[in-house]
Amino acid sequence: MEEPRLDSLYQQLILEHYRAPKNKREMDDPSVEVHLANPVCGDEIRLQLKVEGDHISDVSFVGQGCSISQAAVSMMTALLKGRSLSEADSLAERFKEMMHGDEAASKDRAMGDLRALAGVSKFPVRIKCALLGFDALQQAMGKAGSE
């Protein structure tokens, strides 16, 4: 699939996360894990969370797919450790706003490296790639809350 043309600085940041992803490892004893795929592009991730009380004490993932999907998960995990479940959910909602073209969200410092993905909002087919990690996160938190 053709890669969207993004600002070159952002493109570089995306490739850095793709080549050297954060938190890409298998966790020994996750509280919850979710496996999600985006068959349109061939992206796949398994997200693992360790939840203690109402906080995410650890997060990891394994997966494969396009640079946008894998970089987005890496960027997401870099922001999650130590966050409360409600903070993590807010981040997910903020990211979705950014994928819908919300300019304020794309400039929100709380989004960290995820801001590099703002340009993806112009490529509807690729939005699913970028959202895969947060979709898995929200499903995982739903599971964690119901156990």
**Using CB under 5 A as the criterion, which residues of the chain lie in contact with Zn ion when the complex forms?**
41, 43, 66, 69, 129
* Coil, helix or strand at residue 35: strand
Q: How far is the CB of 112 from Zn ion (least distance, A)?
A: 21
Q: How far is the CB of 50 from Zn ion (least distance, A)?
A: 27
Select 66 or 73, whichever has its Cβ closest to Zn ion. Answer: 66
Select 111 or 129, whichever has its Cβ closest to Zn ion. Answer: 129
Instruction: Please check whether residue 27 is in contact with residue 60, taking contact to mean a CB–CB distance below 8 angstroms.
Output: yes
Q: Which H or E run includes 92?
A: helix 85-99
Q: How far is the CB of 7 from Zn ion (least distance, A)?
A: 19
Please measure the distance between the N-terminal and C-terminal CA atoms of the chain and give it in whole angstroms: 39
Select 33 or 43, whichever has its Cβ closest to Zn ion. Answer: 43
Report the candidate in 118, 114, 134, 111 with the shortest Cα–Cα distance to residue 71.
114
| Radius of gyration for the chain, computed over Cα atoms and rounded to the nearest angstrom | 14
Q: How far is the CB of 67 from Zn ion (least distance, A)?
A: 8
Select 45 or 129, whichever has its Cβ closest to Zn ion. Answer: 129
